[in-house]
Amino acid sequence: MADVLTFTDSGIYCPAGDFYIDPWRPVDRALITHGHADHSRWGMKSYLATQAAAPVMRHRLGDVSIDTIRYSETRQIGGARVSFHPAGHVPGSAQIRVEVAGEVWVASGDYKTVADGLSEPFEPVQCHAFITECTFGLPIFRWLEEATLTAQINAWWAANAAEGRTSIIGAYALGKAQRLLTCVDPAIGPILTHGAVENTNAVLRAQGVKLPDTIRVTPETKGNDHPGALVIATPSALGTSWGRRFGPSSTAFASGWMALRGVRRRRAADRGFVVSDHADWDGLNTAIRETGATRIFATHGYTAAFQRWLAEEGYDAHIVSTEYSGEQVDEADDTAAEPS
């Protein structure tokens, strides 16, 4: 039996449906798992994405042709039956199920198996073959309980506010920033946001995502305007003149990479909070088990180590080269160039 999905130099391709999933080069028909820049790129003739992912894609990509689909809705595309299922990564993110002649493959994009109160919770999808990320595919990566993480962030903010310092935390403009907003306590003080974060907030609020009140940082904003504030910035803004306007401050970075001591030191922030919108080691293994798949294709992340682990566990495991970047701690996020 021919493979349902193949791996090409343009992206993940379905011959039976003549479409690509998250292609990185321009193609005629692209099915998109979510709105992050490494999975949703400009230049496709047409796009298909979930109803919740489309507004952010339009915000980022401009006037492009996007058709939308509801979660679990089935659509026939050529010889393939396609449906989208929640991935738990960011609002609107999806795993894409493709069935051809009774053979089912799932391309997961990026995913997180633990509900965060923001994204549609991950749903395992039964399949024969599963394409998985493994950004954090080592046993060292195990995330804290959400309540513990929330308590840590709020305690840090409250202590800074009591001592007259602004709290500045770096987080990606889509997903991570809004997740922080849903867990912090607005009673501690005002919440300020970088322009790129606030632009994304506006898109998500317009589609019904509930977020606390925030104040956009403008060139006129000064630290003493908002004593005791929490500032949610893009990663690229930390340690720059943008952040220095707030006067005495404490800086933090929110990323799964904060689990590694060396990365925390390299970021030169006062605190590192282990927050990720990707599955940790246990989440990856749980997701794979629950699919019932026997063939696993590992894409971006610790692919070699994770493939070896899966093979030892009895899977028919393979490594696939893609242009997805996962969670990059040392690079500017894809919207950092927007107005501040």
Beta strands (DSSP E) in 184-294 are 191-193, 215-216, 230-233, 249-254, 271-273
72: number of CA atoms within 13 Å, CB side?
Answer: 6
Report pLDDT for 329: 59
Question: What is the share, in percent, of the chain residues with pLDDT greater than 70?
Answer: 96
Going by their DSSP bridges, the two strands 191-193 and 230-233 should be labelled as: parallel
**What is the predicted pLDDT for the residue at 326?**
82
Q: How confident is the model at residue 9 (pLDDT cuts 50, 70, 90)?
A: very high
222-243 average pLDDT score: 89
pLDDT value, residue 239: 81
Confidence of residue 191 (pLDDT cuts 50, 70, 90): very high
Q: Report how many helices (DSSP H) and strands (DSSP E) the chain contains, helices first.
A: 8, 19
Nearest to 320 by CA among 25, 2, 8: 8
pLDDT value of position 336:
39
Rounded to whole angstroms, what are the CA distances from 117 to 144, 176, 210, 224?
A: 15, 12, 10, 32
Q: Which residue has the higher pLDDT, 176 or 238?
A: 176
Position 224 confidence tier, pLDDT thresholds 50, 70, 90: confident
Please report which confidence band the pLDDT of residue 1 belongs to, taking 50, 70 and 90 as the band edges: low
Check pLDDT > 50 for residue 232.
yes
Contact (Cβ atoms closer than 8 angstroms) between residue 117 and residue 88: no
Q: What is the pLDDT of residue 335?
A: 46
Task: Determine the pLDDT at residue 327.
Answer: 85
Q: Name which of 23-27, 117-121, 322-326 the model is least confident about.
A: 322-326
Of 28-37, 217-226, 265-274, which has the strongest mean pLDDT?
Answer: 28-37
Q: Is the pLDDT of residue 16 over 90?
A: yes
Sign, CA torsion 250/153/53/322: positive
Above 80 in pLDDT, residue 332? Answer: no
Distance separating alpha carbons of residues 87 and 94, to the nearest angstrom: 5
Residue 210, pLDDT > 70, answer yes
Query: Residue with structure tokens 């692919």?
Result: 303
- Reduced to 3 states, what is the DSSP secondary structure of residue 224? helix
- Element holding 205 (H helix, E strand): helix 195-206
Q: Cα 260–266–271 angle (5° rounding)? A: 70
Tens digits of per-residue pLDDT, 145-159? 999 999 999 999 999
pLDDT confidence of 325, banded at 50, 70, 90? confident
Q: What is the pLDDT of residue 236?
A: 86
10 Å Cβ neighbour count for 59?
18
Confidence of residue 269 (pLDDT cuts 50, 70, 90): confident
Taking 70 as the threshold, does the pLDDT of residue 201 lie above it?
yes
Q: Which residues of 188-205 are buried (b: 16+ CB within 10 A; e: fewer)?
A: bbbbbbbbbbbbbbebbe
User: What's the mean per-residue pLDDT of the chain?
Assistant: 93
Q: What is the pLDDT of residue 192?
A: 97
Strand partners, 103: 100
